[in-house]
Structure 1
Amino acid sequence: MNALIGVGLGLALVVATIVVLLCLGAFIRRSGLLGAAAVLVMPTFAPHFVLAGVFVAGIGWWSHTRHPDIGVVLLTLGGAGAVGSAVVTAVLIRTAWAAGGSVNLLRALAIGPMTGKADSTVTYATVGGQDLNLEIYRPADDSAPMLFYIHGGGFTGDTRLPATMRWFADNGWLVICPEYRLARPDRPTWDQASADATRAYAWAAENAGMLGGDSGRMIIMGESAGGNLALILAYRIASGKDGAAEHLPPPLAVVANYPMVSPRAALTTHLLHIDQGVEQYIGGSPEQFPERYADVDCTSYLTPQAPPTLILQGTRDSLVPPESVYDFVTRAERNGMDITLVTVPFANHFYDGLAAGSLGFQALTTITRRYLTASRHRSRS
């Protein structure tokens, strides 16, 4: 029996230590990989860490008469972990509320996988012998507003989030998620990916009636690399000066989640070889191809005619430098654009993508829903 109690106390000590370390990583900005890991998991697991901390503190209180030393340690670490995690949880909830979103704390505890299945898949083009498909997530009603959702993946991979797209479909949007040509070591796609996004958007608009959507109520959305493509596509359409996009129906709004607004700025990021992926996408360095880097920089497309723009950005992003996003927003405001920035504290890149229903997931989806609903009403007035 004593051996089992010892094992239980040891496990409680390990759990408490992990939670406290993650709290420290979340609160201390310059904490390296620990900090990066902390702000990746906190938007998903902070409420669970509160419960874990309380449980460990309870074990410490129960055991302090039998094992005073370990009891005090568990009580202290458990309490510190619970308080630190509760602060993170409260700040994230307050952030969502302040931006027009909402968080259900019970749902945040009952998280689920980010998996899901599209209702159908359609080939929208064949380019260079490669079929390009798009996924369709259908809402219950016909003639629904359309959400054209461009996935991320650093221009070299596919990190689409089925649970997110299903959520928007369940909340009334016809979601269209296209694939686009991804860069390979022998194939830079800096011009091809944008052309594919334009081609897919045109296909979705042309076939809106058949799909059950309304091409007059289109939204463009994307995350990370997809956020870059989403912003460029929306602004190119709005400018009316791009031959490939000038006849396309303008979107009511564009939403970009931790967008790679400046691939050049992302070259400073070596984590997960993001810098190598950017050079693969462009075909080389900025010194070799300055025009290409300018062509994929979202600031090159800023226009007063741009649709209302919502940007969500984690303040502790390890892959997309937050300063590049802040600078982009400032430049957009100087251009007279209607742009809204929501900064998400204690949040790394992909803060919304680890689990459906998490704090980060709920913040992204509900803030976006509120913003798009308001944009739709503005367009009617």
Structure 2
Amino acid sequence: MKKFINLFLAVILMVILLLCTLLTLSVYLKWPMMVSGYSSLFATQFNSRFILLALVLCITAFLFFKKQDTGRKIWKFNLILGILFLAGQLIFMLIMLRTASKYDAEISLIPSLKGLEKPVKPTETHHYLTIYGEKQLFDVYRPKNPSGKPTIPVVLVHGGAFIEGKRDQLGYAANWFTQRGYTSFGIEYPLAKKDRQTYESAVNSIVTCMSYIRKHAQEFNIDPSKMILVGGSAGGSLVMQADLGLRDGFAHSYDGSQVAPPAAVIALYPPVSLSDLYQKLREGKTVDLYDPMNKYLGGSPVQFPARFKQLNLIDHLSGGISPTLILTGEIDHVVNVEAIRDFVNKSKEMKLPVSYMEVPYGEHVYDGNPNSIAGQMTWAEIRHFLKRNRLTAE
């Protein structure tokens, strides 16, 4: 019976280690697409935990190998797999730390073992627009230790492929900003459906919300001239659309006000060209996004070339751009990273104030755990960006 239990444990551990090792290998091979994507996503968010797990499994395999006579070959194989798993995760951590050093980001390993923080609760909620018969709301997150002076407003725009998501989705971002003296606004906007395309109304609603917040600047105790737009994924595209659209004339406020562009824009893994993304989709190089793109834009680039051209943001750079920070992962299978690189390179050629950080092996929402090394790196770069543009509240 004891021998049977020993063999059973050896086989179970072998299956676990084989799976962990193969998934780690897929990260470096960047193949197959879906497996490597999920593997990279978990590695960037929980790399420190995986190292601890690998250590525990290695020690377990070593002790059984030394003390057991039954199944020694399996335990030896397990030890080899454990070492490979550990080595793969350690190399991944070294790559992350080297990248952090490149961007001058101070990293602490202890916090990287933590999970997500509990999102801060909003202090109040406001109604800024009614469209399609639906009220559009935003939550206000006031600073934890207000000084009495007008604060810098941060407008947080959620992602969700333009068809889903909630205004409190960026709760961890609200935590970060309110802890540093900013006033944050988590906003919602009309989501696309089969019977309504929101490629115009979504960005116009965001501009309308900007107008509303600025008109009530005294009530919110903010400096309206320093408004920062922050968005992730679809939200990242929308905050860039708001800035470029106000400059190039394709975005406006529904209240008829003349709205000034934001003081700065922070966009995490934004789709900057939906026509390029559609082509990648046809080539099978991204996840299936036909449904959200058809709902948001109504169809394909062949059917609606003008709509897709409006959302090819590189074509709107001639009107200028607010200081913009773009952050993305190297292997993002949801947005087109090549299009983002083209946008950044074109901006640099035009000497526009666009900063860029690309996380090695990073998948979409690579920063889902802000305490991870990749998450700390991201927020350190955001802090550097705000400091460079004199938009710090600390």
Is contact 2:30-2:37 (8 Å) kept? Answer: no
| Amino acid paired to 1:346 | Y
SS of residue matched to 2:175 = helix
Pick closer, same or farther for the CA change 1:263–1:6 going to 2, 3 Å. same
Aligned partner of 1:84 among 85, 88, 108: 88
Within a 5 Å distance, the mapping from 1:218-367 to structure 2 comes to 218-238=227-247, 244=253, 247-267=258-278, 268-269=280-281, 273-303=288-318, 305-353=320-368, 355-367=369-381
1:129 alignment partner in structure 2: 133
Asked whether 1:120 is paired with 2:127, we answer: no
SS at match of 2:225: strand
For 1:83, what is the secondary structure of its paired residue? helix
Distance in 2 of aligned mates of 1:95 and 1:246: 43
One-letter amino acid of the counterpart of residue 21, structure 2 = V
1:149 aligns with 2:156: yes
SS at match of 2:185: strand
What is the CA-CA distance between 1:377 and the residue it aligns to?
6.4
TM-score w.r.t. the length of structure 2 is 0.88
**Amino acid aligned to 1:194:** V
CA distance 1:282–1:307, shift in 2 (3 Å)? same
Instruction: Give the conservation status (yes or no) of the 8 Å contact 1:59–1:74.
Output: no
1:307-333 CA distance string (max 9 Å, x none) = 211111101101102111111112222
Residues 90-145 of structure 1, C-alpha deviations (whole Å, 9 max, x = no match): 22233233224332211111112575532322111112321000122221224221
Identity, % of aligned positions: 25
Q: What is aligned with 2:388?
A: 374
1:363–1:125 distance in 2 versus 1, CA, 3 Å = same
Distance 1:306 1:319, change over 3 A: same
Counterpart residue type for residue 253 of structure 1: A
Residue 105 (structure 1) aligned to one of 106, 109, 124: 109
Judged with a 3 Å threshold, the aligned counterparts in structure 2 of structure 1 residues 114 and 103 are, in CA distance, closer, same or farther, namely farther
- Deviation, 1:241, is 9.1
Residue aligning to 2:173: 164
CA distance in 2, matches of 1:345, 1:246: 42
Instruction: Give the distance between the partners of 1:176 and 1:81, measured in 2 at CA.
Output: 42
Q: How many residues align?
A: 377
Aligned-residue offset at 1:12: 2.9
Deviations 1:251-296 (A, max 9, x none): 2221111001011222233655313211210111111111111112
Q: Note closer, same or farther for the CA distance 1:78–1:243 as it changes in structure 2 (3 Å cut).
A: closer
CA distance in 2, matches of 1:6, 1:51: 24
Q: CA deviation at 1:342?
A: 0.7
Provide closer, same or farther for how the CA distance between residues 246 and 360 of structure 1 changes in structure 2, counting only shifts above 3 A.
Answer: farther
Distance verdict in 2 for CA 1:105–1:11, change over 3 Å = farther
Verify: 1:75 aligned to 2:82, yes or no.
no
How far apart are residue 2 of structure 1 and its match?
A: 4.9
The TM-score with structure 1 as length reference comes to 0.91
SS at match of 1:336: coil
Alpha-carbon offset, residue 6 of structure 1: 4.3
